[in-house]
């Protein structure tokens, strides 16, 4: 099993996001669990050699976990300092560290809901990049309808015995640990949301098999994880038994709209302007075409709107206020904008957008590749439809539909 994982590790995605004219949209995470778009160039979940090396550099310089407490290996600085650092990273198109999912999701969840023992055991190694994390929430029959999860965890002495199948395990092939949602109450009378528990699962445990899942891009950034009689010690449950649903929702909350994905869009738009200057139609650059100019300006305006929505959310957070409507609308705006920009870029390329590599391909096919991966943007971390439901019901207070 381990050998299989290692082999796939080498095959894995070609270092994404390094090519010219690229959007910095890494293959997006699928299923509800994934940290938005991490800094460009980072393979989902991290874990390849380059990102591990880069993470070590960042960690040694004290740039991983800037706002995390010192006792767990962080810098103990403010959220504002973390945001400033993220923005600089995004502006310079620097790749993130290996800890994307660990730093973005697993770590904050353990900090918020984990035991002291779990915090001491896991947090420092998330920051140092020694241990790479993946998430195992979605299943074949449980994507948007996550409460339909079927993976079962049954008590057996000091352990739980877990069986099931997870899908869209971001970076699962290379991960050392997973955050896992599994059913622990099997009484059909119990409300669904009270039947789950939240576990930390060693991906090297006997019984864990990860198969790469080939996406429409042709590469495999995600895994299908088969869990066959895997033993998880009871002390690796996070929070209370049967409270896992709420902890999962908390994990998903850490993926808030932030200003760095908007800054990534602004970078992509700068590349788009270059492309429009380069491409000619009817003997003049497309950048002089009024329709093209309108579109590019609109993208720039939208990305700026996304940026300032993120900064309003940050102001509230820094003042200790609860997140307002701006935090839920930002991620919807950003995910759809990212798709439209990529689609328009291939439109500007015209027939050349079909060429994925070779001497005639523009930027060696960078735009069509990022176009393809952008189709997952409105699926990852909750589909855009689910996001609209959430805005309508939680932010605007509209009633749920009931039969």
Partner 1 sequence: MNFELDEEQVMLKTSARDFLEKECPKKLVRGMMEDEKGYSPELWKKIADLGWLGLTFPEEYGGIGSSFLDLVVLLEECGRALLPAPIISTVVLTGRPILAAGTDEQKKQFLPQITSGEMILTLAFMEASASLEASDITVTATPSGNNFIINGTKLFVPDAHVADYLLCVTRTKDSSNKEEGITLFLVDARTDGIKIEVLETMTGEKLCGVVFNNVAVPKKNILGELDQGWSIMKRVLVEAQVAECAWMIGGARWAMETTIDYAKTRIAFERPIGSFQAIQHKLANIAVEVEGSTSIMYYAAWTIMENDPEMTLAASMAKSWCGETYKHATFDGVQIHGGIGYTWDHDMHLYLKRAKACEVTFGDSDYHREKVAQILKV
360/401 with CB nearer partner 1 = 401
Q: Report how far residue 138's alpha carbon sits from residue 380's, in angstroms, rounded to the nearest whole number.
A: 11
User: x/- contact string, 369-388, with partner 1 (CB under 8 A)?
Assistant: ----------------x-xx
305 binds partner 1 (CB under 8 A): yes
Among 332, 341, 362, 366, binds partner 1 (CB under 8 A): 332
Q: Report how far residue 198's alpha carbon sits from residue 321's, in angstroms, rounded to the nearest whole number.
A: 27
359: helix, strand or coil = coil
Q: Report how far residue 221's alpha carbon sits from residue 194's, in angstroms, rounded to the nearest whole number.
A: 32
The answer to whether 123 touches 110, Cβ cutoff 8 Å, is yes
CB of 41 to partner 1, least distance (A): 24
CB of 264 to partner 1, least distance (A): 17
| Helix orientation angle between 259-278 and 79-91, rounded to the nearest 10 degrees | 10
Name the token pair of 309.
């929505």
- Among the listed ranges 29-37, 91-99, 233-241, 297-305, the one in contact with partner 1 (CB under 8 A) is 297-305
Pairing between β-strand 177-183 and β-strand 133-136 as defined by DSSP bridges: parallel
Name the active-site residue from 139, 215, 224, 255. 255
Q: Provide the greatest CA pair distance for the chain.
A: 76
Q: Report how far residue 111's alpha carbon sits from residue 345's, in angstroms, rounded to the nearest whole number.
A: 41
The answer to whether 367 touches 345, Cβ cutoff 8 Å, is yes
Among 290, 320, 351, 358, binds partner 1 (CB under 8 A): 290
Q: Report how far residue 383's alpha carbon sits from residue 148's, in angstroms, rounded to the nearest whole number.
A: 16
Q: Is position 255 annotated as part of the catalytic site?
A: yes
341 binds partner 1 (CB under 8 A): no
Q: Report how far residue 228's alpha carbon sits from residue 207's, in angstroms, rounded to the nearest whole number.
A: 5
CB of 300 to partner 1, least distance (A): 6
CB of 23 to partner 1, least distance (A): 17
389 binds partner 1 (CB under 8 A): yes
169/267 with CB nearer partner 1 = 267
Active site residues: 255
Q: Which residues bind partner 1 (CB under 8 A)?
A: 273, 276, 287, 290, 292-294, 296-298, 300-302, 304-306, 308-309, 311-312, 314-316, 319, 321, 325-326, 329-330, 332-333, 385, 387-389, 391-393, 395-402
């Amino acid at each position: 099993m381990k050998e299989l994982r290692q082999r796939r590790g080498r095959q894995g995605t070609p270092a994404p996001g390094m090519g010219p004219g690229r959007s910095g949209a890494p293959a997006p995470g699928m299923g509800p669990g994934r940290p938005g778009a991490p800094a460009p160039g980072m393979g989902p979940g991290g874990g390849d050699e380059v990102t591990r090396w880069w993470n070590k550099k960042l960690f040694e310089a004290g740039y991983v976990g800037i706002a995390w407490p010192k006792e767990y290996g962080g810098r103990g600085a403010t959220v504002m300092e973390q945001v400033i650092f993220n923005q600089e990273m995004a502006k310079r198109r620097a790749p993130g560290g290996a800890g994307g999912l660990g730093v973005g999701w697993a770590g904050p969840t353990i900090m918020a809901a984990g035991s002291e023992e779990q915090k001491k055991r896991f947090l420092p190694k998330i920051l140092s990049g020694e241990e790479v994390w993946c998430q195992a929430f979605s299943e074949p029959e449980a994507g948007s309808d996550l409460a339909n999860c079927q993976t079962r965890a049954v008590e057996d002495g000091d352990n739980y015995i877990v069986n099931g199948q997870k899908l869209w395990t971001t970076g699962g092939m290379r991960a050392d640990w997973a955050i896992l949602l599994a059913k622990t109450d099997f009484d059909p009378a119990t409300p669904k949301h009270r039947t789950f528990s939240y576990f930390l699962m060693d991906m090297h445990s006997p019984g864990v098999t990860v198969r790469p899942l080939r996406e429409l891009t042709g590469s495999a950034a995600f895994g299908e994880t088969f869990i066959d009689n895997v033993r998880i010690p009871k002390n690796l449950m996070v929070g209370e038994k049967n409270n896992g649903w709420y902890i999962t929702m908390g994990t998903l909350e850490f993926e808030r709209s932030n200003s760095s994905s908007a800054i990534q869009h602004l970078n992509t738009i700068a590349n788009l302007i270059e492309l429009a200057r380069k491409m000619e139609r009817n003997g003049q650059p497309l950048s002089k075409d009024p329709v093209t100019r309108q579109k590019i300006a609109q993208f720039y305006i939208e990305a700026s709107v996304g940026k300032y929505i993120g900064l309003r959310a940050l102001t509230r957070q820094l003042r200790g206020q609860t997140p307002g409507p701006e935090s839920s609308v930002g991620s919807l705006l950003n995910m759809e904008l990212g798709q439209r920009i990529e689609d328009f870029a291939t439109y500007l390329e015209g027939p050349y957008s079909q060429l994925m590599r070779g001497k005639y391909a523009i930027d060696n096919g960078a735009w069509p590749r990022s176009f393809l991966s952008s189709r997952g943007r409105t699926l990852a971390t909750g589909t855009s439809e689910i996001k609209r439901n959430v805005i309508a019901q939680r932010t605007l207070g509209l009633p749920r539909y009931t039969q």
